[in-house]
Amino acid sequence: MSRKEVRLSGFGGQGIVLSGMILGKAASIYDGKHATFTQSYGPEARGGACAAEVVINSQPVHYPHIVDPEVLVVMSQGAYNRYVPEFRESGLLIIDMDLVTVDEQAENHRILSIPATRIAEEMGQRVVANIVMLGFLATVTDLVSIDAMREAALTSIPKRTIELNTRAFEAGLEHGRKAMAAGVSG
């Protein structure tokens, strides 16, 4: 595996930073790869811009920051507006389809979408949208194994929420499998 760079983005309160930590944990602890994780967020605790950046490699990561991510996960329109203009052509853009509207800026990207927030709301807890998205991400990319992502997610959340988060993760997997069956690949 060569160096892979991923940016997860949205707004504060969506669990973006936790998602980045889970992805890095999945890669480094459960898949035996090397990973770095950095985060950035606006001055607001909730609602401000937020991003998590993960570098994954089979070799030690000598530079911990992303330079040219090949995967961009976007869970808010603000994040789309901020990160898509600089995102590489033919990169994989994954959006929460109910929160993000794409425009001509995305025309040279491979786009996958999932209603992650809607799925979470149907489960009664909007806060698990990030876990839905991680299940989807694990299915449509080869960044980490599904088992590693599941284990990292479920060992990073409060024990009392394991059942809900398991359902959220599985819902993301199912949507990812449907996308793959339709001939869409990341």
pLDDT attached to residue 140: 97
pLDDT at position 178 over 70: yes
pLDDT level of residue 55 (50, 70, 90 thresholds): very high
| Tens digits of residue pLDDT in 69-88 | 999 999 999 999 999 999 99
How far separated are the first and last CA of the chain, in Å rounded? Answer: 15
pLDDT attached to residue 49: 76
pLDDT attached to residue 47: 63
pLDDT level of residue 12 (50, 70, 90 thresholds): confident
Phi-psi label, residue 57: left if phi above 0, alpha if psi -120 to 50, beta otherwise: beta
Kindly state the DSSP code that residue 104 receives in the 8-state scheme: G
CB neighbours of 92 closer than 8 A, spacing ≥ 6? Answer: 70, 71, 72, 109, 110, 112, 140, 141, 186
Has domain 4-181 been given CATH number 3.30.465.10? no
Strand order in the sheet with 92-96: 34-41, 49-57, 4-11, 71-74, 92-96, 110-114
pLDDT level of residue 13 (50, 70, 90 thresholds): confident
Question: For residue 11, how many C-alpha atoms fall within 13 Å in the half-sphere facing its CB?
Answer: 13
What is this structure's pTM? 0.94
Helices (H), the chain: 16-25, 77-83, 116-122, 129-140, 146-154, 162-181
Q: What is the CA radius of gyration of the chain?
A: 15
pLDDT attached to residue 40: 82
Residue reference for tokens 């789309």: 80
pLDDT at position 185 over 80: no
Q: What is the mean pLDDT of the chain?
A: 93
pLDDT attached to residue 153: 97
**Among 12, 18, 11, 9, which residue's Cα sits nearest to residue 149?**
18
pLDDT level of residue 125 (50, 70, 90 thresholds): very high
pLDDT attached to residue 42: 64
Distance CA 75, CA 73 (A): 7
